[in-house]
Structure 1
């Protein structure tokens, strides 16, 4: 099993060879889902180019069907966009902002993806276990989202 540092190095290397951001997101999501048993659903939502107040489902992997579109004024994903900061909820039953995707989800982390200082997407991870997202996990997931954001910045400057 790869550790966080190894995974971040792998993702940074993949970012150099990915032809599209969706490909990079898919690769990161699949590897996290494979490597970290408590990451039961991993996905990305991108801001809709025609309606920036809406998030549209991007690449994801996991055992349930997610919301396809989310307004940024609702849910944990919306909270991450509007606050431009990471949202960690280690007991989703205790947070009224939680939009249920599956009744067995117990904790969730949503990390904004920044490109050119703007929130362009969010990385969303759900766990069937309460208390999954420690400060160390948060830092790791923020590192993953940072790699995606850096890739997207490179695309926007081309």
Structure 2
């Protein structure tokens, strides 16, 4: 019997150097704690390509590292192929959501399309319409984003957990 294909999850923000790589790292960390890494393929991307190839923002890396979370991805821009190759695309804010949905309209009719959802819909303890961009703020913004991501990713994992 062939093992089931992993659930493919893509986190998307604007530049792919703060929020989405942090969400990717948080989700991967939670998967490792639950020993579920083999059940998921996880990536992140940005709607813009300005930081293509760059590591996550150093401030976000430092805040995540204090929580035992490593951020190792490299920034990339979302591609049309991502709409068909991922099962779930989780966006950080309304602008990201609108841009990803617009991109998905370009996928050929009849092709598989990812389920595109705001990540904050999976929050269980916190109430937020969006994951705020901490890029222009101080250190507390990175901590607040990680608090929100930990909550949302825990809810996402619960929703997608293999049964």
Length-normalised TM-score, structure 1: 0.31
- Structure showing the higher strand proportion among its residues: 1
Q: What TM-score, normalized to structure 2? A: 0.31
Greater relative contact order: 1 or 2 (C-alpha under 8 angstroms, separation 6 or more)? Answer: 2
